[in-house]
Structure formats: structure tokens, C-alpha cells
Chains A and B, each alone.
Chain A
């Protein structure tokens, strides 16, 4: 009989545990999709449409087929199964079906012995197009009935009226996720008709369902494996090269690798929807919202992807974290010949946040109130009905606290800096200190947690306890955000076991973990790990008659009754869980009901220095108070907040895909500008811990919040400095300079 020390396990929840993949990533040894390599593999390349809308008059692959070193050239006629794919609607042809509907649409695919030959073969294909007029205006498409979804929200009294009326029109441009890791895949035939697919993704099971349909293969014959991901932010939630690379491998019987270059990457993944939003806020003399009326159109681009759900989010979060009893929304997402839109961090909540927060600022100004005061007076909290759906907010929603905590963060030094690198224009030396005006702006943002509208949202996890420790088997995708770290921390804390390892499972080994998106994995896969760990612990305690499990083994009444070795002596002990969040409902035809599983709120304050004459901006500081439920890993949370703010700053002042007739004019990092270290402000963060009503230890997903309200906070600060209306993001120099 031994009395163990029963020390608390290290790197459990609440600690800033280091990433298990950190050493490999720092040493250059971590394998990303684009690093995959197998001897004897072929290289794939893709022929793409140079037009946003054109009829394919002639496609002659012969010159490519006859080239030395070319092993396969495939077109839409070669798709073995369902000719189309898509998460919601299967409306996108695997390869061009005779009409190209957006710039960069894949037309033919090639496999060759090396990359140069593959690319030369693509250029050798004879292709003749008859250009057609592209539909590029989403309002026009909507008027013509070309929409993926229309949303109507009717809540309260249409005749309600406020004494203060604020009307505004707002526009948000197309933002790209621009993950640094390009789309990449390696398909390896198994020799008996099946294929193993290693591909960059956020959700291998939704890929798998689409891939097997188009390949016309049995589920077990196609195995999708997670690979190292160089960032995602929504860009990898939809199929890119998955089906192509598998088709080439199956046709040639050899491993095939495809890696997109940067321009292909810009063409090859969905983007944030651009939006046009017409708002009318009516409030009483105290600034309390009486009625909000909104009409908006999102540009869904050429194919549906997740446009349905993005529109729902834009519609349900159209008022923000505020109470209002009378809300009327007409919204649509249009089908155009612009690049297909889909998921990007914030998922519909970003666009409307810019609009509603701009409106709230104008309301505050009209009433002579501080911007945060008008937000306080309308703050949505637990027990309140959502302004749009009427759903009663369950669990925590510390809207008032995020405002209070934000205000408590110290402001930066009021002096305009001397170093030109701290001034607008930076090293361009455009701006003398005395040309700078400082402004401060605020914004709040609201987001739903996990999937909504009755989607059967779950995550599967299998825990396996062996003499070496605990294994977490899951198909959940780590994109860099730190899911692996968090799940290991949860398992350690629940089980008291130190040695925990993550085992990436393929689609043949375990069921879906759902998408790494929608701020959901900490709660969903983290929740599955938690529930499975509790089940495993209870199973062991029951089997060995104990009352406590620690790193030494099972204790009973303070005495060690079985070591971990003894516990796993006969066989590994397993626990499988399919975890679901509380059910959500399909809303009625007027958008009423309980479509959401929970909510998260955040507040941002931006301090900017502006050169009003040249229209240049240096963001000085952004502070944020974030509703986190429970901080499982504070360092990882701060990393999400700072990274999300960087993308929010980018969207506020520089990030935009510019289109002309549906063609992207800036599909490179020379012209699609991402903030650098000299553009990034200092960030102050406060984490607000009020436990959620579901999920591990009350934690909430916070991946999207920092991107939602940071953008309008920056724009509000620029407005405060310049007095310009600034109704569009990104704000361009000419918008500020007024030329």
C-alpha cells in the first residue's frame, strides 16, 4: 500500500500550457499539406477560366495529352459520379460544365511527372471561350430573383416609431482569409481501387461526403486524413482541389500532389461576402431602441457554398447585442459571377456589425450621449429576448461587463509619437507630427456559438487509456488556433493523468468532429473530450473501487488501490462520445424561434492617429474586453484576440479584393495587403469569465469575436478624428481625404 503525492496535474485547464506541436513548428519539422511528398508522385495543375462568365466553345486537351511526361488530363466528362459538389446545395461543377461562372473556375486538371511539365500541359490545352456579360451587381441579381436564400424577420409592431430616427447605408468589401499555407493535397491510390486523401481542410467529414459522391465510391474506399494546416479562417471549409487530386490519382494509379500558388489560392477558395446594408434605427429620447428596419444584400458569388448560413447570421445579428422589440429585416444573398463567397471568421456577423455599430454611434451623437452610454442603455443580457428572433438569451452574456471592463483599460499616452514608424504613413515619411489628429472609437459585437437553425451539430471523440497514457482520437482539425492544446488540458484536468497525446483520425476511423469554424471546437470537441473523460474516469473508478483518479492511479479513501499500469494491464480502456450542444430550432417564416445554441459578446476600443489631408491611418492601440465563459488557456485566448484584431484592422483600412467585371485585380500579396508589425497596434485584453450554460468548464468559443467588432471600432475612431461619414470598409485614403 502506497500513499501517493496526488500532485495536481501540470498543464491542465486555466494554465497557459504550451502547444504540443510548437517545437516541430519552430524547428521546421512540422508537415503541412504543401510539404507532403511521396516518391514516385505526380504533380497536378489546374486550367482555370480567365473570364467571370463565358461559354466554353472548344476544349481540346490533345496537345496536353500527347506531351511527354503527362499522365492524365481530365475534364468534367471524366467525373465518375455526381458532377457537382457543395455543402448545402450541390451546384458547383467539379470542373467547368460548359459555362464558366466565375474567374478562376477550374476547367481541366493535369497530372505529370513534374511541376513544370504539369503547368506546361495546362498551357498547351486549347480552349476557346465566348465571353458572356457577367452579373456583378448583387442588387441587380436580387431584383432578377437570383438569390440563394431570402430571409424575412418580422418581430413586433410595424407601426412602432421612435422620436429619433437614424438612417444609413453601409457597404463592406470582399475580405480574403489569406491563410499563409496554400491549398494542398496528396492523393495516394491504395492499389485496390480506393484512395487515401491527405488534404488541407477544416472539416474532413463534410469533404468526404462530397468527394465520395463525385467519385461514385463507397465511404470506406475513400479515406480523408487531416494534414498540417497553415491557417484557415473559413477558407478551407469548402472543397477546393480535393476531388481533382483524387480523380487524378485514381485515373493514373499513382500518387498525385496538387499545391496551389498564391494567385490560385485567391481564386480557389471562398471569401467573405461583400454586403450592402440599408439601416433605419428608431429610438426614444433616452436612446433606447424602439425599432430597427434593415434591408440588405450579400453577394454570394457564383455558387452557393455556405451562403445560406451566412445570410442567416447576418440577419439574426443585424441589431447586435442590443434589445429592441420591433425588428424588420429583409435580406438576401445573391447569385452573381463574382468569386464564390462563403465562410470567413465572423461569418455574416462582421458585415452587419459595421453597420449597426455605425448606427449606434450616430444615435449617440444625435442624443449627445457617450458612445458607450447608448450601448449600455440597450445592452442585451441573460433572460432578454434577442431583438431579431425573440429567442431568450440563456446562460451568460456579460454585455454590460464588457463595456465596463473595456473602459477600465488604460488609454495610451496622449502625446502623438515622434518616431515616424509610429505615425500614419510609417516609413513612407508622409506625415509630420503636427498633421496628425487622434480619434477614439468603440464597438461591440455579438456572435452565435456553434451551428444553428436545427443543424445536427456534434463532435465524436474516442479516448484510449494505455500504459503510456491517454490518447485522444478525433477528426477535429487543428488549424493553428490551439484546439489540440485545449483538449489535452481538459483531459488532464478531468482524469488527473499527465501524459496525453492527440491522435488525428481519418474518416474511416471515427465519425465527424464537425467543422473547425463557428467558434465551436473548444466547446464541441472540447466538450466531447470532457464528457468522454468523465465517462472514462467513472468507468475506471467503478471497476477498481476507487473514489479518485490521479496520475499515480486509482485511490480509495486516500489510499492507492491500483496503479495506472495495473488499470491498463489487461487492455486499453476506451470511452467514445458523440457530443451535442443543446438543440436549436428552425425559425419560422418570420425568423422567430430558437435558432441558436448560445452567444458570445465582446467590446473593442480603438485609438487611431490620422493624417486627414492624405487619408492615412496608424492604429495606435486597440483594447478589448472579451466574454470567454472560462479561460481554459489564457495565452491561447490572447493569441486569438490579438490575431483576430489584426484581421479586423486589416479589414478596416487595407484588406480588399478588388474586382473588375468579376475578375480579381489583386490576387497577390503585393496588392492584397495584410497588416505588418508596423501596422499592428498595441493590444490590451481583459477576459471576462462568466460560465456558459454548456461546454467544458463553462468555456465559450472566442475565435471569431475579435474580428467582428474591432473593424467598426477602428472606423469609429477615424470618424472621431476626421468627421467623415465613412460608410464603407475598408476605408480608403480617398474616403478620408474626401477626394
Chain B
């Protein structure tokens, strides 16, 4: 089947098997490999994308169910060549190590701060609890998010 959606502001179509995951189609059909495949069970958040305003694990979204949706992936966060303030804060605080989880954190942060520019620490811990990081121990990420929350970005 052919699915058409708006990805990062651009209308895209793909010929897919409807049961395939949105993640597979993003990575293998549309050249958007920024969303990462680390577990395929919705247990790590590395593939997080925003679909019609909801932050979802794209590995658990069937692409056939995406017709007409509006999707934001990590590739759509930066403003041209300039990093988004969320990305800049993570970079400045040392929140990137291996970086495999990073796209998921960027997306979850974009989703969280769009809804709540000043979340408290516990809210942030819970909001990011579906994003596993194996390298940083989350400290630098939390410091970046604290900074963003203080700035009300």
C-alpha cells in the first residue's frame, strides 16, 4: 500500500506493507535513520517520534495506520544548521556519549517542553522514564533539562 504523511513539514509517500513499523519505514524507505532501533518493544525510547502531537515509540506504530498523519522526527528539530535550544543544552551539559539514545531524548524533550515549559524535577524524571540511556547515568541530561526548565524555553 502507499502511505502519505507529513514528515518534518514535508509531504512524503512510501510504498509499504501496512504491518511494517513506522520505524522501519523511516529508516529503510525514507532515509531518516536518526530514529534508532534498539529494542523493538517500546522499552527504550530510542525510536521516539511525535505523531499528531503524541510522543510514540515508532517501532510500535504500524505504518498502515499513519495515513495523513503529521510526524516529527529528530531530523526535524534543529532550525536549519543551528541546533534547537534543547539540542544545544544537551551538548553543553555533556548529555551525549554514544548518542544512540540521544534522538529519543531530543524528541521527548521537544514534546515535554512544548506542553510544559517549566516542569519540576520529578515531572521530568517521569517524563523521560521511557528513554533508556546506558552511558550517561542521566545526570548530564537532567542538568540540561533543568536548564531548559529554568529558562522556560
Contact = CB atoms under 8 A, between A and B. Distances in A.
A–B direct touch, CB within 8 Å, in complex? Answer: yes
Interface of A: 16, 18-19, 21-23, 25-32, 34-35, 37, 178-182, 228-233, 259, 261-262, 419, 421-422, 427, 479-482, 635-636, 638-639, 641-647, 668-670, 674, 676-678, 680, 683
Contacts of A231: 97-98, 100, 134-135
A643 B137 CA distance: 4
A683 B139 contact: yes
Residue of B39, B94, B137 most packed against chain A (CB within 10 A): B137
A71 B106 CA distance: 40
A635 B38 CA distance: 26
A16 B91 CA distance: 11
A27 B74 contact: yes
A683 B90 CA distance: 18
A28 B78 CA distance: 10
Contacts, number: 178
B33 interface: yes
Contacts of B106: 26
Interface string B14-53: 0000000000000100001111111111011010000000
Nearest to B140: A639
Interface residues of B, number: 54
Interface in B120-143: 122, 124-126, 128-142
Contacts of A646: 133-134, 136-138
27 contacts: A18-B92, A21-B99, A26-B74, A26-B78, A26-B90, A26-B106, A27-B34, A27-B78, A27-B87, A28-B33, A28-B75, A30-B99, A31-B33, A32-B100, A182-B37, A230-B98, A233-B134, A262-B41, A480-B135, A481-B135, A635-B94, A643-B134, A646-B136, A668-B41, A668-B43, A677-B126, A677-B141
B73 interface: yes
A422 B120 CA distance: 13
A18 B91 contact: yes
B101 interface: yes
B96 interface: yes
B100 A644 contact: no
Contacts of A32: 36, 100
Interface in B66-121: 73-75, 77-78, 83, 87, 90-94, 96-103, 106
A639 B94 contact: yes
Contact of B98 (A180, A645, A670): A180
A677 B39 contact: no
Contacts of A26: 74, 78, 83, 87, 90-91, 96, 99, 102-103, 106
A455 B39 CA distance: 37
Given A480-B135, A639-B140, A683-B137, A35 B39 contact: no
A181 B122 contact: no
Contact of B97 (A481, A669, A677): A481
For the complex of A and B, list the 6 residue pairs with the smallest distance between their C-beta atoms, beginning with the closest: A28-B34, A480-B98, A25-B99, A230-B100, A642-B137, A646-B137
Given A180-B38, A668-B41, A28 B100 contact: no
